[in-house]
Amino acid sequence: MTGELSVPGRRSTAEVYEEIRTMILESRIEPGERINLDALARDLGVSQTPVREAVRHLEGDHLVVRAEEGRGYRTTALLDRAGLRELFEFRLLVDLWAVRAVAVNRLANPAGRLAREVDRFERAAVGLADVRRLLITHDTTFHGEILAACGNDVARRAYAGTHGHLHAFRLYSPDIDGTATVREHRAVLEAIAACDPDSAEEAMRRHLVDAFHRFDAAFAAGDRAQLRTPGRQSLF
């Protein structure tokens, strides 16, 4: 997202957007909570203008929705169990098709970029107790590189339009370490690097199915709070 240029003592719209988005992802602004623009601007020490612009961008991310007429905005609710299943059903269609398409011996093979991205995330996460912001960026980049390598803009836009990483990510604890993410992503990229579409598809399938069942177990237990407890595995 691009924003107005920063000047001394003033934060850009892009900076305000990132700060509010982080507050939503970390549930410092709770799911379904009404957003008081005046109070938020005061808390952030900025005018209402960048806050309003940031909220409009967050609406495009499906993290914020317009409340009842005349009552401003509120954050979107967390995914429920049915919504989670629908999201993963969509991803099992698109991600499996995409990973098979790119795991061939051609110049567009993204294995090198995927390996650099996994390495980048591991280096950046060293010593951090809370890697959530890094993890969502990493996961979006990793899967985005695979979609981009397909060269199909329709599929890429449809995938991005679900904002699935943002919504699923909100269900997780602040102190996940990304271990499951790295292990599963490395299995996918190794199969792509080997130009083995069958193995790449299977690695992606295991990755997504295991991630879904990590969520589903918590829903089945009937304890949404379990999704926020420390030490749980990462989503993707």
Same domain, 21 and 135: no
Residues in contact with 126: Cβ distance below 8 Å, sequence separation at least 6, in sequence order: none
Residue 67 sits in a domain of what CATH number?
Answer: 1.10.10.10
Which of 75, 91, 108 is a domain's end point? Answer: 75
pLDDT at 69: 63
Same domain, 141 and 207: yes
pLDDT at 199: 98
Domain count, the chain: 2
In a domain, 135, yes or no: yes
Same domain, 45 and 141: no
Same domain, 110 and 210: yes
In a domain, 5, yes or no: no
In a domain, 48, yes or no: yes
pLDDT 10s digits, 165-182: 777 777 665 446 788 889
pLDDT category at 42 given cuts 50, 70, 90 is very high
Same domain, 62 and 97: no
How far is residue 86's CA from residue 231's CA, in Å, rounded to a whole number?
26
pLDDT 10s digits, 67-115: 766 668 899 888 888 888 999 999 999 999 999 999 997 788 999 999 9
| 22, two tokens | 């982080």
Which of 75, 98, 116 is a domain's end point? Answer: 75
In a domain, 4, yes or no: no
The domain of 120 spans: 81-228
Of the two residues 85 and 26, the one the predictor is more confident about is 85
Of the listed ranges 72-86, 138-152, 219-233, the least confidently predicted one is 219-233
Rounded mean pLDDT, 178-205? 95
Q: Map tokens 């990132």 to a residue.
A: 18
In a domain, 174, yes or no: yes
Q: What is the DSSP string of 87-148?
A: HHHHHHHHHHHHHHHHSSSSTT--HHHHHHHHHHHHHHHTT-S--HHHHHHHHHHHHHHHHH
Same domain, 113 and 44: no
| pLDDT of 54 higher than 60 | yes
Residue 143 sits in a domain of what CATH number?
Answer: 1.20.120.530
In a domain, 39, yes or no: yes
Which of 75, 98, 113 is a domain's end point? Answer: 75
Same domain, 199 and 99: yes
In a domain, 155, yes or no: yes
pTM greater than 0.75 (yes/no): yes
In a domain, 198, yes or no: yes
pLDDT at 130: 75
Same domain, 66 and 174: no
